[in-house]
Amino acid sequence: MTAPAAAATPVPTAAAAERVLVLDFGSQFAQLIARRVREQNVYCEIVRHDITAARVRELAPIGLILSGGPNSVYEQGAPQCDAGLFDLGIPVLGICYGMQLICQALGGSVQSCPSREYGRAECEITAAGAGLFADVSPQTQVWMSHGDQVTGVAADFEPLAQTGTCPYAAIRHRERPIFGLQFHPEVTHTPEGSKVLRNFLKTFCGAEGAWKLGDFADETIQRIREQVGDDRVICGLSGGVDSSVVAALLYQAIGPQLSCILVDNGLLRLDEERLVVEEFSKHFKTDLHVVKAEEQFLSVLAGVTDPQEKRRRIGHTFIDCFTSEARKIEGAKYLAQGTLYPDVIESGAAPDGPADTIKLHHNVGGLPEELGFELIEPLRDLFKDEVRRLGLQLGLPEELVWRHPFPGPGLAVRCLGEVTKDKLDTLRQADAIVVGEIKSAGLYRATSQAFAVLLPVQSVGVMGDSRTYDNALAVRCVNTDDFMTADWSHLPYDLLARISTRIINEVKGVNRVVYDISSKPPATIEWE
């Protein structure tokens, strides 16, 4: 049994008047669109593609954005939207699939095109001075990702831009505030994309840009005080930025009424427990419980190799350990979690959000109903970069706020194949070398995430005069603004050489080190 899903956190009053909805048609960039809108200080939520016009009217957004998607709009069963959306008078911007959907619904035609466009393209703005392209260069670079395209528009539409193979790279309705872009303005590969989004939000949606994280913090702290009263709150602490910011918010709101639980599952990084306790003691003068549970987690992971099964078992075991410790804390009525907006979306837990579950998140729901806790998830409307900025505003140290992300299931998803204590110890040592050398080179803040991955691959090597047959280890280091797309970090060769030499010399059982030069997409940041 699982706890009831928490209601969506109310957004600040200023933001509620300036809400933009992104209708998700399966795009890998839907979250990125929402982030780009928020960068304009306009609050944004991702909702189901089939949300009804009546529900949209109830939410009263100032604008709608229809995302891209992998389907063809003319295929049977392709995701559609409520055609009534176009009659609400709310400004609409369709991106890629979203544009094709608009054209199909309003009298245009969409077909598979012989000249597909994937990647960078030169785009010519044909409607000079058009509001959507104000301050955008007449010849601008855009990012295309489509095999279908609009081949004809209704008389109510006019083209705004074109590429060498796409005559309708951008369109607008002549009377209604409805726009379409065949390219993706939300990705960094479209350098002037933020201008296009800003023009849509400010010129056509009338956005004032009133959403501020400082206001969010003040209102969240006040809301926690009113909700909690004199009761006690339990917070799961991991040492990462998410749980630390939650603890900081709670501490400012209720002080000594906060109890924190750290579950040492044996899947943490080198010296993680000690470092978390030290950092916690510096910044919070409140109750801390440490649960030693390495044997319990290793037992349930024995023989398991499937990544999702690892996550599932780790999640269930975490709940068991956390629940057992939480029962010992008297007067606890609330449970606080560091759930972020991507977690809510990817788990299918958002009330109006996409229904598909992308991956399992142990933070979203999951605690037994009989435990009787009410959930507090103060960060569930925020993205990672917003959480970092909030942490700095709350006075947390930069070294904690800018710490690289660490997966909830810990090193279990960086130890490919079966997880054992020996493998984890090997991985811990190697990972510490990777991160330590990158810090020594002064590149830790310049990179977004760096770690080691122990591979279930053995290869022949030579150490001294002896033949070895030991493990291969991959080093992964990426640069990203949003963790939705990422490029591999071009680390200096001498740094990579030091990392490799130290790992092979100092970590028993490893005789080969490789560097992962895959970008996301098509790869993911983590290996599992």
Residues marked as catalytic: 96, 184, 186
Q: What is the 3 state secondary structure string of 41-58? A: CCEEEEEECCCCHHHHHH
DSSP letters for 342-367: HHHHHTT-STTS-----S--TTSS-S
Per-residue tokens: 382: 């925020």
* Alpha-helix runs per DSSP H in 233-360: 241-254, 272-283, 294-301, 307-326, 341-346
Q: Could you give the CA distance from residue 16 to residue 22 in angstroms, rounded to a whole number?
A: 15
Residue type, 475: V
Sheet with 232-236, strands from edge to edge, namely: 287-292, 258-264, 232-236, 332-336, 374-376
Beta bridge partners of 119: 144
Decide if 24 contacts 354 (C-beta within 8 A).
Answer: yes
Residue type, 93: L
Q: What are phi and psi of 363, to 5 degrees?
A: -85, -20
CA dihedral 253, 256, 257, 263 (to 10 degrees): 100
Sheet with 139-152, strands from edge to edge, namely: 43-48, 19-24, 63-66, 92-95, 178-181, 170-173, 157-162, 109-125, 139-152
Q: Could you give the CA distance from residue 519 to residue 472 in angstroms, rounded to a whole number?
A: 21
Nearby residues of 357 by Cβ (< 8 Å), 6 or more positions away = 346, 347, 348
Decide if 502 contacts 437 (C-beta within 8 A).
Answer: yes
* SS3 state at 467: strand
CA 297 and chain centroid, separation:
26
Per-residue tokens: 276: 């978390």
Q: What is the 3 state secondary structure string of 146-171? A: EEEEEEECCCCEEEEEECCCCCCCEE
Residue type, 514: V
Q: Could you give the CA distance from residue 443 to residue 173 in angstroms, rounded to a whole number?
A: 48
* SS3 state at 390: helix
Quick one: which H or E segment has residue 431? helix 421-440
Query: What burial class does residue 399 get, using C-beta atoms within 10 Å of its C-beta: 0-12 exposed, 13-18 middle, 19+ buried?
Result: exposed
Quick one: which H or E segment has residue 490? none
CA-to-CA separations, 162 to 28, 123, 126, 127, in angstroms, rounded: 24, 6, 7, 10
* Residue of 46, 41, 13, 42 lying closest to 29 (CA atoms): 46
